[in-house]
Amino acid sequence: MATDSKSEPVQACGQFSTFFVADMFFGVNVLNVQEVLRFQQMTAVPRAPDVVEGLINLRGQIVMAIDMRRRLRLPQRAGDGVPMNMVVRTPDGAVSLLVDEIGDVLDMDPATYERPSENLDSVAKELIRGVYKLPGRLLLVLDEERAVDLTVGRAD
């Protein structure tokens, strides 16, 4: 599969499409985002890992949808909470990340970048490539390839 992204330097500056999952603020490289959509009807996938919410038909393209709350082992959304789809491009095709809320596209200054802390939760450590300091919060840079790799961070 892909090389270990922990040893590769993250893009030190550039634009990030941002989103929220619970109280966490994430960003992915804007060049890897295909589109952002409202919630779509899903087709369940029997015997799929629990992080897979289902499949969506995106104008004829079948796209797997991964619930980022489940991926990060967070509590489920409130009963009336409807996720948004952030469709990202990966080497294996498009995948939808189900997130709580879509943010803005941000230009980040490399001077505000740091490697992730070593004391992160094991799942988060596998998925977060770095952190940018912003006024009043942190932007967690998500490694979207590892986030959609269902073998990463699996509880065995």
List the CATH number of the domain containing 68: 2.40.50.180
Reduced to 3 states (helix: H, G, I; strand: E, B; else coil), residue 114 is: strand
pLDDT over 50 (residue 6): no
pLDDT over 60 (residue 2): no
Q: Does residue 156 sit within a domain?
A: no
Q: Does residue 9 sit within a domain?
A: no
Phi, psi of 110 (to 5 degrees): -60, -20
pLDDT over 50 (residue 10): no
Q: How many domains in the chain? A: 1
Express as a percent the part of the chain with pLDDT over 90.
62
Q: Does residue 52 sit within a domain?
A: yes
**What length is written for the chain?**
156
Q: What is the mean pLDDT of residues 55-75?
A: 94
Residues 125/92, Cβ–Cβ less than 8 Å:
no
Express as a percent the part of the chain with pLDDT over 70.
89
pLDDT in tens, 93-130: 999 999 999 999 999 988 889 888 877 777 778 899 99
pLDDT over 90 (residue 78): no
Q: Which residues, in sequence order, are CB contacts of 11 under 8 Å at separation 6+?
A: 29
Q: Tell me the residue range of the domain where 110 lies.
A: 15-148
Give residue 95's pLDDT. 96
Give residue 63's pLDDT. 95
Q: Does residue 6 sit within a domain?
A: no
User: What residues are paired with 106 via a beta bridge?
Assistant: 16
Band the pLDDT of 13: cuts 50, 70, 90: low
Band the pLDDT of 51: cuts 50, 70, 90: very high
Give residue 150's pLDDT. 83
Closest CA to 102 of 5, 6, 26, 7: 26
Phi, psi of 126 (to 5 degrees): -70, -30
Comparing 123 with 29, which gets the higher pLDDT? 29
Q: Does residue 28 sit within a domain?
A: yes
pLDDT over 80 (residue 155): no
